[in-house]
Each structure stands twice: as C-alpha cells, then as structure tokens.
Amino acid sequence: MLKQIAIRLGCQKTITKSLVMRSAEHRLAGHRLTERRGPWLWAAGLAAYAFLYLPLTIVVAYSFNDSRLNAEWVGFTWHWYRVLFDDEDMLIAAGNSLLIAAVASLAATVLGTMAGIAMHRYKLKVLTFMVLIPVAMPEILLGVSLLLFFIQVLNLTLGLLSIVLAHITFSIGFVAMIVQARLAAMDESLFEAARDLGASPWQTFRHVTFPLILPAVIAGGLMAFTLSIDDFVITFFTAGVGVQTLPLRIYSMIKIAVTPEVNAVSTLLMLLTLTTIILASRFAPDVLKGKT
Amino acid sequence: MSRPPSCILSSILWVKQLAIRLGCKRPQPSRWLSRLRERRQSNRYANFKLTKWLVSGPPLLFLLLLVAAPGAITVLASFRYPGEFGGLAPLVAADPQTLQGVTLETYRFFFGDFIYAEVFVKSLFMALVTTLICLLMAYPLALLIAHSPKKSRNPMVLLVVLPFTSNFLIGIYAWMIILGPQSALSQMLNGMLHLFGIAPVQLLFSPFAVLVALVYAHLPFMALPLYTNLEKHDPALLDAAQDLGANAWQRFWRVTFPLSQPGIFAGSALVFIPVLGMFAIPELLGGTGDMLVGNLIKEQFLGTRDWPFGSTLSILLTVAVLLIVWLAARLAGRGGRYA
C-alpha cells in the first residue's frame, strides 16, 4: 500500500493528495473501529463463542473417556471407537448414509447447476421460487408432504430411493444458490467476447462458462454431500422402517440412553463434515455464508 | 467440411439473387438481405428458447414434481377423512357406510378444541423467546466481529459457522450430557440450592433445556445476517456521533441499532421459522408438556397416523410461517429507510 502510494506520488501529481488523504482516513477509521471493541463487547462475544464450542468439546473429549458415564474424566481410551467398529448396525447405517449422500449430491449438483444457470440467465421466477421453497420452509413441512406424496401418489415403498429423492429435493436449492452467486459475480463481457469470436452457445458454455463456475459447482456438490449426510428431519419422514442412516441411528440411540459410543460416532461424523466443508470453502470462499 | 442446411440454402438463395440482380435493371439487395436476416434471427430465437428449456426444464420439472405436487397433495389431504388403518380414506368408496369424500372435519376439529390452538400459541411463544435470546447473544458477537480488523473477520465468522456444519443431533446430545443429572452443572446448581434449603431441580427434560438447545441450534442464523449488516456500516458515522458528544451507549442506541434493523429482522425470521417446525429438540430434551407444533405434526403422521389432521396442522403451520415472513419483510422494509 505504502509503496503504491509512493509510486503514485512520483507519477501522478493531480490525484496524489486525495489518495493519500483517503488512505490515511481509511486507516484512521479502521484503527478507531477496532478501538471500539470495549471490554464488555469482548466479554459478551467470547461468552457466545464459549457457548458454541463447549458442548462439542465435551462430546469429543468424552469419546476418549474410559468411563460408561459422561460425567467425569477417568482416563484415556480408544474403547468406544472399537465398540463402534464392532457395531454391525452402525456400520450398515454409515454405509447407507454414504451411498445416499453420494448419489443424492451427484444428482443435486447436476440439477442444481442447471437451475443456477437458468436462474441467472433466464431469470425464471417460477424456478427461483421453487428452488427457494425447500430452503426457506421448516424442514418438517417438506418431510411430511414428501411422505404423503410417496405413499399416496407414487405408491412407493419407503426406502433408499425415497430418501435419495428427498435429499436431492432439498439440496438443489443450495447448489443453485452457490452457482448463481458465482455467475452473478462474473463479468458478462466474457461471454459476449466468446460469442463475438464465433463460439456457439455450447462452445461458450464448454470453454468459458463451465471452467469459470467449476469451483462453485464443486463447492455446491460438497455442500450437498454434507447436507445429505447430516440430514435428520426429512430422512426421518421418508426412510420408512427398513433403512437406517447415521443420523437416524444416533437419534434412536440417544432416545434410549446416553452412551459414549454416541460420542465416538459423533466425533467421526463431525470430522467428516468438517473436512468436507473446509474443502468446499477452498473452492468457493462464500459457501459457508451461503448456508443461511 | 459440412455446413448446416440453412447455410446451403442461403448460399443458393444468394446465387439466385445474384442472377436476378444481374438480370434486373434495378437491383434490390435490401429485400433478400432483410429476409435472410429475419430467418437467421428467428432461428437464433428458436435456439435460445430451446436451450432455455433444456437448461431450466429438468430442475424445474423435478422440483414441480417433488415440491409443488407434494404441497398440493398436502392441501388436498387436509380435506379428506383418515383411513381406517392410517393414511387417507378413499375419495369414493364402494361401501357407502365408510367415510369418504371431502370434508372440513379436520379444520373444525382444530378450531373446536382448545388444546391444539394452545400448542400453536405455545410454539409461537417459544420461538419468540428463542429469537430474543439469540438476538441478545448474537448481537455482541456480530458487533465484535464487525469491529475487528479486516483480516481477522473471516476467520471469526468461520468460527461461528463451523459448529453448525456438524449434525444438530450432536448438539442436542451434548446438552443432554451437560444438563444431565450427573453433570457438573447440575451437581453444582443443586448443591447451591441445597445450601439455601431449596429442593433440587432437574435441568434435563424441562422447558429450560429445550430453550437452551433451540438457542444453540439457531445462533448462527441470527449472527450471520447481523454481521453482514453491521459490517456495511460506515465507521465515520460513529466518529461523527462521538465528535458531537454521544457516549458509547448513545452511539449504539441512536446510530448502530437503528441502522442494523434490516439485519435484525432477517436474522429473526431465520431463527423464528425453523424453530416453529422443530420436533427433535422438544422430544429429546423436553418433558411431556413441552410439545411444539412440530411434535404434533410428527405424532399425526408417524404415531396416531391421522394424516388428514397432520396435513391440516402442516397447512396451518405454513400459513403461520408465510404471515411471519410477510411481517418480517414489511418491518425490514420499514427499518430499511434508515440505511
């Protein structure tokens, strides 16, 4: 910054003064802004952070605790992870979850990317509305309406297929919004240049649009994957009796009793979603803000 | 090199036109040129429309089938009779004795009995309290981030969001541990109560536990919109207020707070709406009396299997949500005049 100012000082006389003044003002403003963090603000903010992190820390810590009760620290052990990997039902549930998430996120990525492009390029109001509804409404409403639809209209036996369809439905919106945000941030003249150089619409898409939105598409896909792996409410209504997923299994376990095995599976699940999300935010930095 | 047929056609036309022109006394190039241009444009327009539907068709079709149609089915189902073994009674039954056809029975049932309306009112109240607590906790957090140096803002936001990338059941489970009867918190609290001669209280399976978990699960939905709003404020305004002699509280109440109203309403809607439909938290952390609308709906669909009544409850919940969205949008619009 200083170097730039120095260069400009030497080159352009007319704008120099205002630039230096402005930069000084900016720095001063920034400085005064950070000074506005009084002790009370610090205390309240840090308390909020503690409130957010304390519960998860306890879950992780007790997953290594050598005690049946989640009450006090006894000693370090891998026991609960061994129990976890001997639990046949849990492994089946984990397999189901991964399968559902893989299929659903793949389909949602394709459909969501198309929806994102369509929303950006054709400004279809119906599509935007349909994409936002599952994101904005309480999950339970989508869950019960899908349950009614699958049973009453499609006469479908609830199982893997119904879960996958439900997961695609609520993931499309997230992928579409990430892709649309990326498209909106891009320079429209790039596509015009491609067209002027004689590229057909398909060539423009293949060689210009797609490479540019690819990071957003990947981020959207990873987002859809974590949403699917984590989903409990909609899966709860569309799973039927035969199929278990990891969140459903956790739910039925904590409904009965608190056991450290849940800590272990929670820790692993947290690790998985955390990695995926951090990976996603590498591709599109705003992906986390997009979650709301 | 193969050419598309329209090109061949146009080149033939061109040759023909050339011959005519050569033979003609007065050349009229504008007519065929404009005709050609017209055809090209209509071709391009047809292509545009085709790609438009190729791109937006599949997702639109999918969502119409799996969002709009189920929604419509839910509306229709709320006007039906429950089936004998769960599900819906047939619209037209062979046996005239059985329930069939269309009815307003479920709505009459809802408004006829006070219990269900009471659950709705209680849910709205619970959602309101959750929203207010979230606001009180998220505001300083968002303000702290917004007033931090630019470089550390993004990591701080990330720290707020990260806990919520994990499953919300894990959060519930964590609170079960923290509030459980054997936890340090319960022991300490009850020890203190004992000193004052008050009977021990149970933290878990109480409205308190439900509230804590609801706040925990929805805090970032309040913090993020607030932060996005607060970050945009011009720091010069605070400087000006300070130069004019406003103290810290006045600067907050007269400058920052009014400007942040759109953020507050956006965040409140994002907290209020999902809380209304929550059923897992009251079920796992609450007592028998802490039922919310979500539990009622879940019970109708998976417990008593009275689907028409469950659909009615869903429709009423949707109406409530839409009313709240409308209200929040209006309030945010009104608050927006400060910005």
Bridge partners (DSSP) of residue B84 are B86
CATH 1.10.3720.10 describes domain A81-291: yes
CB atoms within 10 A of CB B21: 13
Note the pLDDT tens digit of each residue in B51-96: 777 777 888 888 888 888 888 888 887 777 776 666 666 665 566 5
Nearest-by-Cβ selection for A70 from B58, B145, B177: B177
Apex CA A140: angle with CA A135 and CA A145, to 5°?
A: 90
Q: Which residues, 6 or more positions from A260, have their beta carbon under 8 angstroms from its beta carbon?
A: A62, A63, A65, A67, A68, A70, A80
Q: Is the Cβ pair B137, A51 closer than 8 Å?
A: yes
Asked if B258 and B265 touch (Cβ cutoff 8 Å), the reply is: no
**Which CATH architecture does the domain made up of B108-338 adopt?**
Orthogonal Bundle (1.10)
Nearest-by-Cβ selection for A69 from B68, B182, B238: B182
Distance CA A183, CA A205 (A): 12
When pLDDT is cut at 50, 70 and 90, the band that residue B98 belongs to is low
Domain map of chain B by residue range? 108-338
Tokens read off for B7: 């090109």
Asked if B172 and B280 touch (Cβ cutoff 8 Å), the reply is: yes
CB-count exposure of residue B337 (10 Å: 0-12, 13-18, 19+): exposed
Smallest CA–CA distance from B50 into chain A, residue: A201
DSSP secondary structure letter of residue A290 = G
- The whole-number pLDDT of residue A20 equals 55
- The whole-number pLDDT of residue B327 equals 82
**Is the whole model's pTM more than 0.80, yes or no?**
no
Smallest CA–CA distance from B247 into chain A, residue: A36
Q: Which segment of A179-183, B48-52, B249-253, B255-259 scores lowest on mean pLDDT?
A: B48-52
Distance CA A174, CA A165 (A): 15
CB-count exposure of residue A67 (10 Å: 0-12, 13-18, 19+): middle
Is B158 touching A (CB cutoff 8 A)? Answer: yes
CB-count exposure of residue A35 (10 Å: 0-12, 13-18, 19+): exposed
Averaged over successive runs of 10 residues, the pLDDT of chain A (292 residues) comes to: 46 47 55 67 86 87 77 75 81 88 91 86 81 83 88 79 90 86 81 81 82 84 86 87 85 81 85 83 64 38
Smallest CA–CA distance from B225 into chain A, residue: A292
ipTM of model over 0.90: no
Q: What is the mean pLDDT of residues B301-307?
A: 79
Asked if B113 and B313 touch (Cβ cutoff 8 Å), the reply is: no
Nearest-by-Cβ selection for A172 from B63, B166, B172: B63
User: Among all chains, which residue has been given the structure tokens 């150089």?
Assistant: A197
Question: In chain B, positions 299-328, which contact chain A (CB-CB < 8 Å)?
Answer: 301-302, 307, 310-311, 314, 317-318, 321, 325
> Would the pLDDT of B308 be above 60?
yes
Q: Is the Cβ pair B160, A274 closer than 8 Å?
A: no
Is B82 touching A (CB cutoff 8 A)? Answer: no
Is B297 touching A (CB cutoff 8 A)? Answer: yes
Note the pLDDT tens digit of each residue in A141-150: 888 888 888 8
Nearest-by-Cβ selection for B140 from A48, A153, A169: A48
Apex CA A70: angle with CA A66 and CA A75, to 5°?
A: 25
DSSP secondary structure letter of residue A240 = T
Closest CA to B73 of A35, A60, A155: A155
Distance CA A265, CA B173 (A): 12
Domain map of chain A by residue range? 1-36, 38-77, 81-291
Asked if A163 and A228 touch (Cβ cutoff 8 Å), the reply is: no
Q: Please tell me the distance in Å from B26's CA to the nearest CA on chain A.
A: 35
- The whole-number pLDDT of residue A21 equals 57
User: Among all chains, which residue has been given the structure tokens 């207010």?
Assistant: B132
Q: Is the Cβ pair A70, B314 closer than 8 Å?
A: no
Tokens read off for A272: 């998985």
Contacts of A232 in chain B (CB under 8 A): 167-169, 280
Contacts of B70 in chain A (CB under 8 A): 142, 145-146, 148-149
